[in-house]
Structure 1
Amino acid sequence: MARTGLSAADYQTEFNKWVQQGYRPVNQSAYNGRFSVIFEKQNNAPAWQARLGLSAADYQTEFNKLVQQGYRPVRVCGYTAGGQALYAALFEKRPDSPAWVARHGLTANDYQAEFTRWTQQGYKPTDVSAYTVNGQDLYTVIFDKIVNSPAWVARNDLSATDYQNEFNKWAGQGYRLTMVTATSAGRYTAVWEKTGNTAWQARHGLNSQQYQDEFDRLFYQGFRPVWVNGANINGNDSYAAIWDAKDTFRQSDMQKVDAAVAKFMNDYHVPGLSFAIAKDGRLVLVKTYGYANKETGEAVAPRHRFRIASVSKPITATAIMKLYEQNKLKMTDKVFGSGALLGTTYGTLPYKKDVDKITVQNFLNHNCGGWSADLDFDPMFNYTNLNKAELISKVLNDQPLQKTPGTEYHYSNFGFCVLGRVIEKLSGQNYDSYVKSQILAPAGINNMEIGGDTEADRKVNEVKYYGQGGENPYSMKISRMDSHGAWIATPTDLVRFLVRVDDFTTKPDILQPATLSLMYAPSTTNPEYAKGWVVNKVPNYWHNGSLPGEQALMVRTNDGFCWSVLVNTRTGNIGGDMDALMWTIKNAIGYWPSYDLF
C-alpha cells in the first residue's frame, strides 16, 4: 500500500489506518511538509518504531532512547518546515543486525568525508536522504557493514542529466538501483547494486500526477514500490521511485506485446490505447500507450476513461436480465401498447402495424422489425434536437416497421434506447442509477458514467477523441445514447464487469447460471447474436463499439480470459484488426503471473 503527497495529519491518519490492519511503514520520504510512504503487511516482521516531525535535537533524543532499547534506524528522512530541519525515521529491532553507523545533518563535504571514512572500513550506504534547509543541501545516511555484499556503486551530487547517464551506465552492466534521493536544486544521490534477477523499474523527475500514473502503470504489470523519494525541486514537487516484481511477465513477451501494439497504432494513426486482461478471474495485466490528449502531451494512464459506444449494450442487457431475475419482466413481455411495459407513454395511438407486438426479447435480439441502419434508418443519429422521450414518440409516429417482429435480424441502436426506458419504468430509477446500483457496484465498479456530447463536456480523466477522414467526434448527441452507447469506462472497469458475467466459477457472477444461459442463448434469427452479446459456438462472448473518434472491444473467451481494449480514434478496418491485436497479445504471452490485481 502506497500513499503520496500527504500532509502530516493525513500521514498520521493513513498510518493509523494501515497499522491497525497489520501493515507497517517500510519506506517513507518527507519533503516540503508533505510525505510519501509505503506500507507492507509482512510475516514475522521485526519490532519497529516510527517517528515524524522531530527537530534535530528531538531526533537525537529519540535516536539515543531507541538505540538503548535495541532498535536501530533503517530509514531516516530530513526535510524542511518553517525554515528548520525536521526528521522522520523508521527504526527496527534486529537481533542479527550488522554493524551500522548513522549520520544526519551532513553538508555535502561532510557526507563525502563520512562516505569515504566508512566505506574504507567495509561499510556501504543502505539509506540516504538529501534535503535542503535555507538554501544549504544536507544529508542523512546509514552505513551497514555487510559481509559478502554484492558489488555496489554510489554517486553523489549529480545533475539530472548526469544521473541519467550514470543510471544507463550501471543498469547496462547489470546493476540495479537501490536508492535515489534529490535536493531542492535537483542534485541526485544514488546507489546501485549488482544483485539478483528480480525485475525492477525506476523513474525520476516525475510530478505528482506523473508519479501516480507511473505507479498505476507499474502496479498493473505486477510491480510494487520499494523506494520513493519526494523533493521540492525549483518550487515543484518531484518524485523518484523504484519498483520491483517477484512474479511478473517475461521481458521478451512484453517486447512482443509492445511491438504488436506499436504496429497497430502506427497503421491506424491511433493517438492513445489502453487494454486490460484477466485470466481465470484474476486481473493480470493493464497496459497503456500514447496520448490521452495530444495537444497537452498527457499520456494515457490506467485512470483514463474512454467512450465505449455499443459495448454499452451488454451492460444494458445484463440490467434487463437482472430485472428478469427480480420477476419484474419476462422476455415475452410486450413493450408498447395498452397493458405493455411502457404502455402508451410514447407516441400517438393507434400505433403503426406490429409495433404492439414487439417484445423485450425482440429488442435484445435485434429482431424488432425495423429502426435499423441495416434498413437505411437509425433514429439515434437523427433528430438531435429531441430528447429521448421525444425521439421515441416521433419514431413510433413516423417510422413504420419494415419487417414482422421476430423474423429477421437487423441491428438496432434504437431498440436498446427503448430498453433503457423499460429499465427506468420498472425500477423507478434513472437508467444509469439502476445500472450503477444493480450491475456495476456489485461488480466492484464505481468509475463508469454516461459521457457528454462536446469536448467541453468531457468528464474527469476522460480522453480526448480524434476523428479521421472528416469525422467529428463531438458532433453527436452522446448523452441521448445512454443505454445503447454512452457509457465511458476504463478497460479495467469493463474487465471487472466481464468476470462477473463470465459464467465461470472463479469469481461470483452477478446473475444466476440459468439467467446467464438465457442471456447467452443465440437468437433464432442470428445464431451469432444473443441478448446484447455477440456469440459463437466455442463459446466466446463479446461486443465491440464504434463511434467517430473511438473504437471499443470487450471479450470473454472460453479458455478463461476476459479482456478489453479502447482507443480514442477510428478509421478503416480498425475494429477487426483491434480484435486481432488482442488475440496476438494473448498468444505472445507464454507465462501468466499468479497474482490478482483486482
Structure 2
Amino acid sequence: MKRWLGAALDYLPRWLEHQMRVSEQPGCAIAVAHDGKLVLEQAFGHANLAQRTVLTPQHRFRVASHSKTFTTVAIMKLREAGRLQLDDRIGRHVSGLHRDVAAGTLTQLLSHTAGLVRDGTDAGQWHDRRPFLDEAELRADLADGLVIDANARLKYSNHGYGLLGLAIEAVTGEPYGAWMQREIIAPAGLEATSPDAPIAPALPFANGHSAKWPLGRRVVIAGDNPTNALASATGFVSTAGDLARFFGSLSPTAKRGVIGKASRRLMWHRQWPDPYSSLNRWYGLGTMCGSVADWEWFGHTGGFQGTLTRTACVPAQGLTVTVLTNAADGLSNAWVDGALQVLRAHAVHGAPSKRAAAWSGRWWTLWGANDLLPMDGKVLVANPALANPLLDATEFTPDSRERGRITLAGAFGNHGETVRLRHDARGTASEFWLGGTKMLPERRVAKELSAREGRSADGSPDGAAADVDV
C-alpha cells in the first residue's frame, strides 16, 4: 500500500465519526477498496435506534439503485455470450408491450433514454403506502406508451430497469433473482449480497429511519420488503465491503471481473449528461459518472425507504469508496465526495514527513474542532465539521516540533503568521496556536464552556458570549 494511502485511511474514520456526531445520523458504514482488496471497513452508530442495535460492517443495507449496476453487468454478460445485443429492441425479448415501449433498445433502457415513466402513476411503493409492483402492475403502468420521445434526454426510469429484469428472465428462462445469484453474485465472491429482500432472519440487517422532522424524532422503517418485478431496479441488499469490491472489479484497470474489460469500459463511458443538475453528473450504462477535482469516478447511488447509499470508483487510482447510511436524510452522497477529497489531498501532498508527523491531533475552541493532517513537508488544517474537511484548508510548514509558519491561507485567515505547538512536562502536546488563536484538547474546551455556562446562569455579564466582528 502507498504510504499516503495509509495516512488517508487513518483519518477517514476520525472525520466520519465527527460527522456522525454533529449530524446525529443513526448509522453509517464505509468501505474502501484498493486494487480489489478492502483496505478500510468500518461502521458507526446504530442499525436500529429503537433497539439500540450497534451497527457493524457485517450489517446488510438496502442499496436500492446500486441494483441497476448489477443488472447492467448481467446484460453485458449475456451480450458477451451472444445471447442478446445492446441494440435489441426490448419487444424482442418481452412481448405484449405498447408499440412505442417495445421499440426501445436495451441501450436506451440501460442509459435511461427510452422516454419511459419513472415510477408509474402511483409511486406509493417508495413511501411504504403500497407493495412494490408485480409484473402485471409494471406492464399496466407502461400500457400508455412513452412519456417523452426516446433519445430526447436523460430521464431516469425504475420501470425501464424492471423491463430489463423481465428481459433477463426471458433470455435465461430463469427467475431474475436465481440467475443473478448464480451467475453474477457468486462468481464475484459477494457473500453478503442478495438480489432482493427479505434475507435470512439470522443475518444482521440495518433498518431504515425517517428524517427527524416532522415528529421531532426518527421512526424506524423496517425496509425488509420485497421489490418484486422491480428487483432489477432497486432490490439488492449488500454491505459496504461487498459493494466496494464489486464496483472495483468493474474498473477497466481491474485484473479480473465477472465481465470483460471492453464491457466495463462501455458501462463507464459517459452517455448522457444531466444538464439540469448543478453536480455535473453523467449517466453511462448502469453507472453514474462524474469528477472530484481531477479524479474521474463512476458508480451509483441508492435510495430506499429510510436508506441512502453511494459508491464511487476512481479507476486511475485503483480506489473505490462506498458509504451506506440508514436515514431518509442520510449524507452518503456528501460523505463519498468528502472521502474522495481526503484521499486526493493525501495523494497530491504525499505521506507525512518525519518533521510534519509531529503535528497532529484534533484541537478545539468554542468555534468547534480543527484537525492537523501532516503531509510531506507541510501540515493541512482540516475542519471535520465540513462535508469536505479540506475545503480551503490552511497550510503551514513546520520548522521544528514546536514552531512553524503558515504558508497558505485565505485572505481572511492568518497567512504568513506563525504556528506553535506547546507540550506539557510529559512531552504531550497540550496547546496548538494558529496565529494568535489558542486551541486545546476537547476536554479542556468542554471545561471552559461548562464554566461559562455556570457563570451565565446567574445573570452575570461575564458569562455571556461577547459579540465578535468576523
* Same fold by TM-score greater than 0.5: yes
TM-score by length of 2: 0.63
TM-aligned CA deviation for residue 272 of structure 1: 1.5
Aligned equivalent of 1:312: 67
Q: Secondary structure at the match of 1:442?
A: coil
Q: Distance in 2 between matches of 1:521 and 1:441?
A: 26
* 2:237 maps to 1:488: yes
Q: Is the 8 A contact 1:381 1:476 kept in 2?
A: no
Q: Distance in 2 between matches of 1:378 and 1:332?
A: 29
Q: Measured at CA, do residues 316 and 268 of structure 1 come closer, stay the same or move farther in structure 2, by a change above 3 Å?
A: farther
Q: Which amino acid aligns with 1:277?
A: V
Q: Secondary structure at the match of 2:317?
A: coil
Structure 2: segments with no counterpart, 5+ residues: 275-280, 353-470
Q: Secondary structure at the match of 1:555?
A: strand
TM-aligned CA deviation for residue 533 of structure 1: 0.3
TM-aligned CA deviation for residue 310 of structure 1: 0.9
Q: Measured at CA, do residues 269 and 298 of structure 1 come closer, stay the same or move farther in structure 2, by a change above 3 Å?
A: same
Q: Measured at CA, do residues 490 and 529 of structure 1 come closer, stay the same or move farther in structure 2, by a change above 3 Å?
A: same
TM-score by length of 1: 0.50
* 2:342 maps to 1:580: no
Q: Measured at CA, do residues 290 and 248 of structure 1 come closer, stay the same or move farther in structure 2, by a change above 3 Å?
A: farther
Identify which of 42, 48, 51 aligns with 1:293: 48
Aligned equivalent of 1:520: 268
Relative to its length, the structure with more strand (as a share) is 1
RMSD value over aligned CA atoms? 3.2
Aligned equivalent of 1:360: 106
TM-aligned CA deviation for residue 548 of structure 1: 2.7
TM-aligned CA deviation for residue 291 of structure 1: 1.4
Q: Which amino acid aligns with 1:498?
A: F
Q: Distance in 1 between matches of 2:226 and 2:163?
A: 15
Q: Which amino acid aligns with 1:448?
A: T
Q: Distance in 1 between matches of 2:9 and 2:192?
A: 28
TM-aligned CA deviation for residue 365 of structure 1: 0.6
Q: Measured at CA, do residues 253 and 330 of structure 1 come closer, stay the same or move farther in structure 2, by a change above 3 Å?
A: closer
Q: Which amino acid aligns with 2:63?
A: I
Q: Distance in 1 between matches of 2:58 and 2:162?
A: 28
Q: Which amino acid aligns with 1:460?
A: L
Structure 1 residue runs of 4 or more that deviate by more than 4 Å after TM superposition: 247-250, 252-255, 375-383, 456-459, 474-478, 524-527, 587-592
TM-aligned CA deviation for residue 496 of structure 1: 2.0
Q: Is the 8 A contact 2:121 2:141 kept in 1?
A: no
Which structure has more RCO (C-alpha within 8 Å, separation ≥ 6)?
2
Q: Measured at CA, do residues 400 and 514 of structure 1 come closer, stay the same or move farther in structure 2, by a change above 3 Å?
A: same
C-alpha offsets along residues 62-111 of structure 1, whole Å, 9 cap, x if unaligned? xxxxxxxxxxxxxxxxxxxxxxxxxxxxxxxxxxxxxxxxxxxxxxxxxx
Q: Secondary structure at the match of 1:562?
A: strand
Q: Which amino acid aligns with 1:388?
A: D
Q: Measured at CA, do residues 446 and 275 of structure 1 come closer, stay the same or move farther in structure 2, by a change above 3 Å?
A: same
Q: Distance in 2 between matches of 1:367 and 1:472?
A: 35
Larger Rg: 1
TM-aligned CA deviation for residue 367 of structure 1: 0.8
* 2:205 maps to 1:462: yes
Q: Distance in 1 between matches of 2:191 and 2:223?
A: 28
Identify which of 567, 573, 587 aligns with 2:325: 567
Q: Distance in 1 between matches of 2:151 and 2:37?
A: 39
Structure 1: segments with no counterpart, 5+ residues: 1-221, 223-246, 593-598
TM-aligned CA deviation for residue 393 of structure 1: 2.1
Q: Measured at CA, do residues 395 and 476 of structure 1 come closer, stay the same or move farther in structure 2, by a change above 3 Å?
A: farther
Aligned equivalent of 2:84: 329
Q: Measured at CA, do residues 310 and 587 of structure 1 come closer, stay the same or move farther in structure 2, by a change above 3 Å?
A: same
Q: Measured at CA, do residues 391 and 474 of structure 1 come closer, stay the same or move farther in structure 2, by a change above 3 Å?
A: farther
TM-aligned CA deviation for residue 474 of structure 1: 4.2
Q: Is the 8 A contact 1:291 1:300 kept in 2?
A: yes
* 2:311 maps to 1:554: yes
TM-aligned CA deviation for residue 266 of structure 1: 3.1
Aligned equivalent of 1:79: none
Q: Distance in 1 between matches of 2:35 and 2:313?
A: 11
TM-aligned CA deviation for residue 475 of structure 1: 7.6
Aligned equivalent of 1:533: 287
Q: How many residues align?
A: 331
TM-aligned CA deviation for residue 587 of structure 1: 4.5
Q: Distance in 1 between matches of 2:202 and 2:317?
A: 35
Q: Distance in 2 between matches of 1:534 and 1:261?
A: 24
Q: Distance in 2 between matches of 1:313 and 1:565?
A: 17
Q: Is the 8 A contact 1:324 1:330 kept in 2?
A: yes
Q: Secondary structure at the match of 2:41?
A: strand
